[in-house]
Amino acid sequence: RKIKLSQKVRGHRAKWVELAATNAVESLQGRLSSKQSILNRFIDVQEKLKLDFLPERIECFDISHTGGEGTVGSCVVFDQNGALKTDYRRFNVKGITGGDDYAAMEQVLDRRFTRLSKDEGKVPDILLIDGGKGQLTQAKKILEKFQLPEILLLGIAKGISRRAGQETLFLSSGSGYREIAMATEAAGLHLLQQIRDEAHRFAITGHRQRRSKARKESSLEQIAGLGPKRRRELLRHFGGQQGIRKASQDEIGRVTGISRKLAENIYAHLHNIE
């Protein structure tokens, strides 16, 4: 049933109502246009990859670290309406040789599809990997392990110049990979680039947060006599290591479990006092 709303507004207030209505219409039109644009890009991906179905869900994975430190894997998800941020996930990678991107990708994908095997999450139509054939090989191993042949495996690798628009696309085909050519202006390529860039951004953000946290914690771990329980109490009391640095020796000594001598050592360590 349609409901009609009417109101009696005059003068300058009527102009505000009119402006609000105009803005609402323009906002709605913009959203509808954006959704249509994304849908058109999905359709172009279908056409360029010669698929017999229109993809509904694309998941993209990327790995980020600095010299092997604080390795984090990211998963971003797009559907025909755009980014599904509630489905984004980060994975702290552990137990691998630092800088081994292949092992990192294998671990991240294994954890992702282990969750799926427990009915946590949805099955993607396309699994997009930021990388070339090496990374795709790790992804293929995981899909075979979890018996998911229906998922289309696609890699997007930057060229030698690493410039946008010069990427190479690899589509898993049988026991090998088929290179896919897309014009730089192709809507489908723009979608894949957008998703790849979002996965990269999400991975870097997570990596920086993990690296920062690890460095803060490792600084406190170097202080003799300051165990995990006391470290947690210090961080809780001052709200982080920056707060501890700003505190005086007396203020540190007032924290539960921190003796006068330990407070002196903490203050000296954080301020590089011999």
Q: What is the DSSP string of 244-256?
A: HHHS-HHHHHTST
According to DSSP, the residues that pair with 57 across neighbouring strands are 79
Is the pTM for the entire model greater than 0.75?
Answer: no
pLDDT at 271: 81
Go through 201-225 and write b for each residue having 16 or more CB atoms within 10 A of its CB, e for each that does not: ebbbebbeebbeeeeeeeebeebee
Range of the domain at 188: 57-214
pLDDT score recorded for residue 274: 45
Identify whether 19 is part of a domain.
no
Asked if the structure places residue 140 within a domain, the reply is yes
CATH number at residue 258: 1.10.150.20
Same domain, 160 and 264: no
Q: What is the pLDDT of residue 50?
A: 93
* Average pLDDT for runs of 10 along the chain of length 274: 66 70 61 71 95 96 89 96 96 91 96 91 95 94 95 87 72 88 90 96 92 71 86 87 89 93 90 64
Answer yes or no: is 69 within a domain.
Answer: yes
Please report the pLDDT score of residue 5 as a whole number. Answer: 64
The two structure tokens encoding residue 203: 């991975």
* Predicted pLDDT of residue 161: 54
